[in-house]
Chains A and B, each alone.
Chain A
Amino acid sequence: MYRKLFVLFNFALVAVLAYAIWRSAHPMWKVYQRTYYNMAADAMEKQAATIKDPAAAAKMREQAEDLRNTPLKIKQILTVFGGVDRCTTCHVAMDEFVNPTMKNDFTQQPYAAHPLVDGIDFNKTHNFQKYGCTVCHQGQGMATTAKDAHGFVDNWQKPLLKGKYIQAACARCHANFEHAKGMEFVALGKKLFYKHGCQGCHAIDGVGQTVTVDLGDIADKPLERIEPYNFSLVRIDGKALPKDQWTLQNWIFAHVASDPESFVVNDPLAKYNPQPIAPTGMVNWTADDASGHRELSEQDAAAITTFLLSLTHEQIPYQYHVAGIGPMPDPDPHFADPVAHGKYVFEKYGCAACHGLLGAKGRRNFNALGPGQVSLDQYAKLSDAQKIAEMAKGREPTLTQVVGTYDHQELVNKISNGVPEAAVARYNPDGPMPPLYMPAWKKRGLQGKELDDLATWLLTIGQSNQSQGGF
């Protein structure tokens, strides 16, 4: 019996080892690479058939034959940033040494050459052999299987940036990109970010307010910091995300393209914690604005996401930081008219974050007082979901409605001193602390002429917009 086992096991061992070696020697990239060489050779031979001069045609055929017989290998680019990108192993057309023109007629990936984007030849402006691929596209450059390389896998947190999202990578090196060609989308995102007052709560590298997290390195956010439970509640186009789409890009996008309260639910009724915790303080950007339009469209949300994905603390050597084209924005423009200046100040400090565009619509402040809330007696009889809905009716003041009750000096005082977190009146006294509050702006640099002109402007909107909705 042992003799038989001896033979059997030895054969099995050799067979398994042979299989392991065979599998190691037959990765998918070899198929792609060989297919590319054959396709390129076919194209070359076709071209040779059209050439009249027989010597030149023969030479071209020879070249095609060489291409067909090119030995297969893992190609890698050691980038100037210290990365290793093996993307050209499959995307052979982007390897300068194989395809010096960097052009071909193939449309199918991974065989197609790099397209011109907005007429820009990227290999000329960003030589691939120098910069590699992942510095713009993200993904896992070291990987040699399509799934792992594209990065939608558990052990990689920076998967491919697709479509216009790739402009996020442009903005990491190109400063002042508002006027740069091909960066319109990220520029739009930046513009919307400031217009809608995001900096009123989120500072970027310390510039802006600190009501909540600084977004200066939001593109580096480790996914460990996001509760899987919250990810499971995210809905994009009404659908839950499959696990491989639990990416930072979708997390940020969901914050702008859907109501953040629907997935950062926290614990407002203290079911899981000793103290109630309000849902995220972030407002619903998909709600209608004062004129009945959706405040931010999906496109806008994608643009803002793109801008946020450009905010990284990854070290990029100074020589690769590029100043932009066109005029630098004036950090402190001069206004002759105090009213116009006041409006500028309102936008500069991100007041729209809480009070709405031009102060016309107070935004949600969970468990603060708001219009249409039922009395607490009735509240006690509601279901859990209804209770949360009642608390969610809490609103920040709509300035167009309330400034009329202030005079100039009172406004100045109110803005200077703010309303501390603990002094915000709660609708349900047993509910969570409302997440938003009025900072003491004198501590945050809003003073002097800016403050004065802001109050002047605010008094003008109260007179003209008395009838607008809100609280």
Chain B
Amino acid sequence: MPDIEELKKEVVNSQIWRSIFRGGTWSDTPRDRANHMIGNVWMHIQPAKVRKRALEWTYTWGLGGISFFLFLVLVLSGVLLMFYYRPVPGLAFRDIKDLTYAVTLGKFLRNVHRWAAQAMVLIVILHMLRVFLTGSYKRPREFNWCVGVILLTLTLFLSFTGYLLPWDQLALWAVTVGTNMAGATPFLGNAGPFGASLMHMQMNNDIRFVLLGGTTVGANTLVRFYVLHCVAVPLLLGVLIILHFWRVRKDGFSAAPYGEVTEPKLDTWPNLIKREYIAAAACLLVLMVWALLVNAPLDVIANPHATPNPEKAPWYFVGLQEMLYYFDPWIAGVMVPNVIIVGLMAIPFIDPSPKGIGRYSFKERPFANTMFLLGIIMWFIFIFMGEFCRGPNFMWYWPWQSWLLQKPAPLATWDLFGPAGVGKYPTILGLALIGAAFSGVVLLPKLIKKNLSLVKATLGCAVGFSLVALILRYGAHVPLSHGAWIVFFGTFISFFGVLIPQRHIRHLDWARYLVTMILVACTMGLLVKICARLAFNIKYLVTIPSVFLNI
């Protein structure tokens, strides 16, 4: 039995091995290990030494690396799938059937690709959450955070463009839902504000038309999405990933507080590399088992003349689709995602606090963590509502209810400020009303100079809203269950929209304070509107037709 260590040494020190990996005879000195990283084009993307804390599993959870690994898996499996796929309606569907039934490992390959794509979307979001919670977006990493946000957006777009390719009913209608939102873009979409009236946008020249290559999802759309999915977006994503990695390395890898004294470091080889390998292997193992157990869905062939009921967007956009229930398409489908993206990119610039970099700390950053977690939780709650609580005709079905249950048509909705009063002069009074309410919420926290006790103030709000509910109960016969909604949402919104900002950010400078509070107020407005619709069946609080603003 030969000694394995001896054998390894022979191999590593052989001329062939040394010709591939630069450096002299390997004697496992720190210098050798550093050289191994520096002298290798793939390894060189990582530093030669990393902080000890950055190696903790419970610090990064390996999420960034797993995202990238999933990207590699997707590129590889995607290229293999491309050998069998023709982006032509009819043929496309048939090729998927071929992959399923006739190609060796074809079904497995497609399953891996599908599930890796879904996993990547989730992991990238979790990676963002991790980076936020450890304050890793702060100076000097502001720019890289923005690149990360773009990468997240591109990941979603990449997954979305791939959704159409099987050319089944699922694909056609999910993409129809998604792209119809583009038609509601202000100025650029034919159904969006000022689109038709000011910009002369029509079905056949607006931004939706550009995306689809036609007025409906058809053969041109398939080719466009194919090129976007297989060439354009991956290229862009690849370029930005390089940028992202370069900045990660240059900005001091993970867990480096800005300007702090140097911490003890360990050699990247093998300390980080072995962890990365294990993470990738575990990830691949989970993927492969998942692909063996669960088949990627394939519905009947796409049929533009038969709409499934309900038609749903891919799960990661179902939250936005749920918003369509409460808001006009240009708000739900265009403004909400854009405000989210811009808001995310603004975070490093409106949070100047140098605290809590490189560690999880709720105490040091209570406001930032609270608001961000609130946003993430809302995003997933809306996805849950859209995916599991919406049945035929997009009506509300609890997850345990059968969709075969007949439900009465929803009651007629009403507008809070109807034709009387504000509705009579919507432009002047309505804009003034919205402006007053919005600026009230935005300014209130900074105007209260006193230090409030959070518990007492929250209780005070709850009591106040309970009084409102009681007055409505006995004055206007509003049922107590509705009163409970008012108390809960009123207190919730006062807590997160006024009390928390009052406590934590009223000392910010005006510019940062205003941007932060506008984002907070938008989030709270979203909740107010959803509460108004779900509890009180209010379609719009105010309608201002002159500026297409119905909220």
Scoring B residues 94 to 106 as 1 if CB is less than 8 Å from chain A, else 0, what string do you get? 1001101110110
Q: Using Cβ atoms and an 8 Å threshold, which residues of chain A touch B105?
A: 20-21, 24
Q: Using Cβ atoms and an 8 Å threshold, which residues of chain B touch A140?
A: 97
- A372 to B309 CA separation, bound complex (whole angstroms): 40
A148 interface residue per 8 A CB criterion: yes
A35, chain B: closest CB distance, angstroms: 20
Q: Using Cβ atoms and an 8 Å threshold, which residues of chain B touch A13?
A: 281, 284-285, 288
- A144 to B305 CA separation, bound complex (whole angstroms): 29
B305, chain A: closest CB distance, angstroms: 7
Q: Are A142 and B98 in contact (CB under 8 A)?
A: yes
**Given A2-B274, A24-B105, A222-B306, residue A272 in contact with residue B288 (CB < 8 A):** no
B403 interface residue per 8 A CB criterion: yes
Q: Are B281 and A229 in contact (CB under 8 A)?
A: no
- A16 to B277 CA separation, bound complex (whole angstroms): 17
Q: Using Cβ atoms and an 8 Å threshold, which residues of chain B touch A157?
A: 300
Scoring B residues 178 to 190 as 1 if CB is less than 8 Å from chain A, else 0, what string do you get? 0000000000000
Q: Are A229 and B404 in contact (CB under 8 A)?
A: yes
Q: Are A19 and B292 in contact (CB under 8 A)?
A: yes
Q: Are B278 and A6 in contact (CB under 8 A)?
A: yes
Q: Are B288 and A9 in contact (CB under 8 A)?
A: no
**Given A155-B168, A232-B404, A272-B407, residue A86 in contact with residue B284 (CB < 8 A):** no
Q: Are B307 and A86 in contact (CB under 8 A)?
A: no
B79 interface residue per 8 A CB criterion: no
B143, chain A: closest CB distance, angstroms: 34
B511 interface residue per 8 A CB criterion: no
**Given A222-B303, A273-B409, A274-B409, residue A228 in contact with residue B94 (CB < 8 A):** no
Q: Are B298 and A155 in contact (CB under 8 A)?
A: yes
Measured CB to CB, the nearest residue on chain B to A76 is B102
Q: Are B281 and A10 in contact (CB under 8 A)?
A: yes
**Given A16-B289, A272-B406, residue A222 in contact with residue B101 (CB < 8 A):** no
**Given A155-B300, A222-B306, residue A5 in contact with residue B102 (CB < 8 A):** no
B169 interface residue per 8 A CB criterion: yes
Q: Are B408 and A9 in contact (CB under 8 A)?
A: no
B354 interface residue per 8 A CB criterion: no
Q: Are A271 and B408 in contact (CB under 8 A)?
A: yes
**Given A23-B292, A155-B299, A271-B408, residue A86 in contact with residue B285 (CB < 8 A):** no
B108, chain A: closest CB distance, angstroms: 5
Which chain B residues in 84-126 approach chain A with CB under 8 Å?
94, 97-98, 100-102, 104-105, 107-108
- A224 to B170 CA separation, bound complex (whole angstroms): 12
- A156 to B299 CA separation, bound complex (whole angstroms): 8
Q: Are A229 and B406 in contact (CB under 8 A)?
A: yes
Q: Which of A10, A25, A86, A274 contacts B101 (CB 8 A)?
A: A86
B473 interface residue per 8 A CB criterion: no
Q: Using Cβ atoms and an 8 Å threshold, which residues of chain B touch A271?
A: 406, 408
Q: Are B292 and A5 in contact (CB under 8 A)?
A: no
**Given A224-B307, A228-B403, residue A9 in contact with residue B278 (CB < 8 A):** yes
- A272 to B410 CA separation, bound complex (whole angstroms): 9
Which chain B residues in 289-319 approach chain A with CB under 8 Å?
289, 291-292, 298-300, 303, 305-309
Q: Which of A5, A20, A86, A143 has the most CB of B within 10 A?
A: A20
Q: Are B281 and A20 in contact (CB under 8 A)?
A: no
B242 interface residue per 8 A CB criterion: no
A74 interface residue per 8 A CB criterion: yes
B410, chain A: closest CB distance, angstroms: 10
- A86 to B306 CA separation, bound complex (whole angstroms): 28
Q: Which of A6, A17, A23, A229 contacts B277 (CB 8 A)?
A: A6
B535 interface residue per 8 A CB criterion: no
**Given A17-B288, A19-B292, residue A222 in contact with residue B305 (CB < 8 A):** yes
- A380 to B288 CA separation, bound complex (whole angstroms): 64
A293 interface residue per 8 A CB criterion: no
- A6 to B94 CA separation, bound complex (whole angstroms): 40
Measured CB to CB, the nearest residue on chain B to A228 is B404
Q: Are B309 and A224 in contact (CB under 8 A)?
A: yes
Q: Are B406 and A145 in contact (CB under 8 A)?
A: no
- A224 to B407 CA separation, bound complex (whole angstroms): 19
Which chain B residues in 239-286 approach chain A with CB under 8 Å?
274-275, 277-278, 281-282, 284-285
Q: Are B101 and A20 in contact (CB under 8 A)?
A: no
Number of interface residues of A (CB under 8 A): 39
Measured CB to CB, the nearest residue on chain A to B90 is A82
Q: Are B288 and A20 in contact (CB under 8 A)?
A: yes
Q: Using Cβ atoms and an 8 Å threshold, which residues of chain B touch A5?
A: 278
Measured CB to CB, the nearest residue on chain A to B270 is A2
Which chain A residues in 126-153 approach chain B with CB under 8 Å?
140, 142-145, 148
Q: Are B292 and A74 in contact (CB under 8 A)?
A: no
Measured CB to CB, the nearest residue on chain B to A27 is B101
Measured CB to CB, the nearest residue on chain A to B403 is A228
A12 interface residue per 8 A CB criterion: yes
A84 interface residue per 8 A CB criterion: yes
- A74 to B305 CA separation, bound complex (whole angstroms): 34
Q: Are B306 and A9 in contact (CB under 8 A)?
A: no
Q: Which of A16, A24, A154 contacts B285 (CB 8 A)?
A: A16
Q: Are B104 and A25 in contact (CB under 8 A)?
A: yes
**Given A13-B284, A142-B97, residue A20 in contact with residue B108 (CB < 8 A):** yes
Scoring A residues 327 to 357 as 1 if CB is less than 8 Å from chain B, else 0, what string do you get? 0000000000000000000000000000000
Q: Using Cβ atoms and an 8 Å threshold, which residues of chain A touch B288?
A: 13, 16-17, 20
B293, chain A: closest CB distance, angstroms: 11
A410, chain B: closest CB distance, angstroms: 44
- A217 to B407 CA separation, bound complex (whole angstroms): 31
B401, chain A: closest CB distance, angstroms: 13
Q: Using Cβ atoms and an 8 Å threshold, which residues of chain B touch A20?
A: 105, 108, 288, 291-292
Q: Which of A9, A155, A222 contacts B282 (CB 8 A)?
A: A9
Q: Are B307 and A144 in contact (CB under 8 A)?
A: no
Q: Are B97 and A24 in contact (CB under 8 A)?
A: no
Q: Are A142 and B292 in contact (CB under 8 A)?
A: no
A443 interface residue per 8 A CB criterion: no
Q: Are A24 and B108 in contact (CB under 8 A)?
A: yes
Q: Using Cβ atoms and an 8 Å threshold, which residues of chain B touch A145?
A: 101
**Given A20-B108, A274-B409, residue A224 in contact with residue B169 (CB < 8 A):** yes
Q: Using Cβ atoms and an 8 Å threshold, which residues of chain A touch B101?
A: 86, 142-145, 148
Q: Using Cβ atoms and an 8 Å threshold, which residues of chain A touch B94?
A: 84, 142
Q: Using Cβ atoms and an 8 Å threshold, which residues of chain B touch A84?
A: 94
Q: Using Cβ atoms and an 8 Å threshold, which residues of chain B touch A124?
A: none
Q: Are B309 and A142 in contact (CB under 8 A)?
A: no
Q: Are B275 and A2 in contact (CB under 8 A)?
A: yes
A239 interface residue per 8 A CB criterion: no
Q: Using Cβ atoms and an 8 Å threshold, which residues of chain A touch B100?
A: 143
Q: Using Cβ atoms and an 8 Å threshold, which residues of chain A touch B307?
A: 224
Scoring B residues 416 to 444 as 1 if CB is less than 8 Å from chain A, else 0, what string do you get? 00000000000000000000000000000
A225 interface residue per 8 A CB criterion: yes
Q: Using Cβ atoms and an 8 Å threshold, which residues of chain A touch B291?
A: 20
Measured CB to CB, the nearest residue on chain A to B307 is A224
- A228 to B403 CA separation, bound complex (whole angstroms): 8
Measured CB to CB, the nearest residue on chain B to A222 is B306
A16, chain B: closest CB distance, angstroms: 5
- A228 to B310 CA separation, bound complex (whole angstroms): 12
B294, chain A: closest CB distance, angstroms: 13
Q: Which of B100, B101, B307 has the most CB of A within 10 A?
A: B101
7 contacts between A and B (CB under 8 A): A2-B274, A12-B285, A20-B292, A145-B101, A148-B101, A155-B168, A224-B303
A-B pairs, 9 with minimum CB distance: A222-B306, A9-B281, A224-B306, A144-B101, A142-B97, A2-B274, A16-B288, A272-B408, A24-B105
List the interface of chain B (C-beta within 8 A of A). Answer: 94, 97-98, 100-102, 104-105, 107-108, 168-169, 274-275, 277-278, 281-282, 284-285, 288-289, 291-292, 298-300, 303, 305-309, 392, 403-404, 406-409
20 additional A-B pairs beyond A2-B274, A222-B306, beta carbons within 8 Å, are: A6-B281, A9-B281, A9-B282, A12-B281, A13-B285, A16-B285, A17-B288, A19-B292, A21-B105, A24-B105, A84-B94, A142-B94, A143-B100, A148-B101, A155-B299, A224-B303, A224-B307, A271-B406, A272-B406, A272-B409
